[in-house]
Amino acid sequence: MPKIPKSRIARTARFGGLVAGQSARWAGTQVANRGRTPERAEAADAKRALALADELVTQLGQMKGAAMKLGQVLSTVDFEMVPEGEREAFKERLASLRDAAPNVPFKGMRKVLADDLGGDLDEHFAAFAQEPIAAASIGQVYRATLHDGRDVAVKVQYPGVAEAVETDLRNAGMLLPLVRRLAPGLDARAIMDELRERIGEELDYELEAQNHRRVARAFREHPFILVPEVVTSMSTRRVLITEFVEGRGFGEVKALPEAERDRFAEICFRFFYGLVRRERIAAGDPHPGNYLLAADGRVCFLDFGLVRRMDADYLDGERALAHAVVSGDAEGVHHWLATLGYLPEPDDFSPDRVLDQLATAGEWYFTTGFRRLDPEYVRNAMEISSSPASPFFDEMRRQTIPPQALLLRRMEGLFFSVLGELRAGADWGTLALEYMADAPPSTELGRQEAAWLAGT
């Protein structure tokens, strides 16, 4: 595995080289396009966009830390200047960073454990398996047993990654020219500021432990949701220890019978949207590797490093916006999009058009009635939200994402993709009304949850 470049000079040089080289090549392509036919110009843009994606994946993946996470999150942004036929490939290459973290030898990880916990591993653990059971952008997870017999998961940061992340966060602004070039309608600086704050928080495992404990408290003794307890006395800034939960991963869940997949999917829906509704927390990384189907039928949720505690007034506005879409209230949709910050120039947008845009792209969520999702449906819905062929493309390219909504939109988009991969079926619109309009429970799981809430 390539060594993580730690020095500010080395990491800044990589950022600077990436931006300068790609900017020069992009400018050269645009100059050459003046003498090309529209078809050849589009082909040249596509080639340049994919070259940029390749270099982003290569450079950010090697750098790990915030650089890798920046690439992951940027994969959810729509780059309208990338030709339609290549856009999804571009985003997929950035998204691939999520699963591209190579393993770091245990020798280096042992030193982090020793420095943070003090003493030898034998002093803290009765057994410690040295092969990681999971790897992510800033750390690896191991299985161990405490002296009191508890099985635990031990999440350890890569050595040197803290310094690397801090440098990356200082350098993140250097990516602004590339982001602006590919997505001119986006408030790139505000988005980068939001990313810097969220990723900086993710580096601190003590803060993640606080987030984790808050979520665990919110779902304690829940009938079908499980959040492992944190071993607070042994968790530090670079080491996070939680209860270990045995369960089936996403690959196994996808192979289950239809009814079991549908149950799993509804539980996940109720977890993510319930977390937003009741705790005002947007979980920004609903990656399917972060939840397991436990032996007792509960679904276990993991990893609360990338989260956003949202303002109550802002979430009230988001709920009012969703309710306006469901009600077919075009003026209300326009008002709330403008108020929340999605429309930089509100007078340039037709209320009827923005209502049609949201109702069409979010049909699965805003329309009642049973619907079984699949990857093709999700892909078509995403194209309505991003493709130049979309009838709403002119409106979309002039809209932006409010920084506070970035992780909320990321949660929704990635979770929607997960539901498609599961080929999950439900009356999603009626489920959504429980969270956007406080409608009564619509399923047996909803009634179980309501009874649990009434008793807590």
Tokens of 246: 């045995």
Cα dihedral across residues 143, 146, 152, 155: positive or negative:
negative
Q: In angstroms, rounded to a whole number, what is the distance separating the alpha carbons of residues 73 and 97?
A: 10
CB 216 within 8 A of CB 227: yes
80-97: b or e for each residue (b if 16 or more CB lie within 10 Å)? bbbbbebbbebbebbbeb
Task: Give the count of beta carbons closer than 10 Å to the beta carbon of residue 115.
Answer: 12
Residue of 338, 333, 310 whose CA lies nearest to 403 = 310
Residue of 96, 110, 142, 102 whose CA lies nearest to 4 = 102
Tokens of 363: 């049909």
Tokens of 268: 């996940």
Task: Give the count of beta carbons closer than 10 Å to the beta carbon of residue 176.
Answer: 14
Q: In angstroms, rounded to a whole number, what is the distance separating the alpha carbons of residues 231 and 214?
A: 13
Cα dihedral across residues 351, 357, 360, 364: positive or negative:
negative
Residue 285 designated active-site: yes
> Of these residues, 45, 168, 262, 285, which one is catalytic?
285
CB 90 within 8 A of CB 387: no
The residues annotated as belonging to the active site are: 285
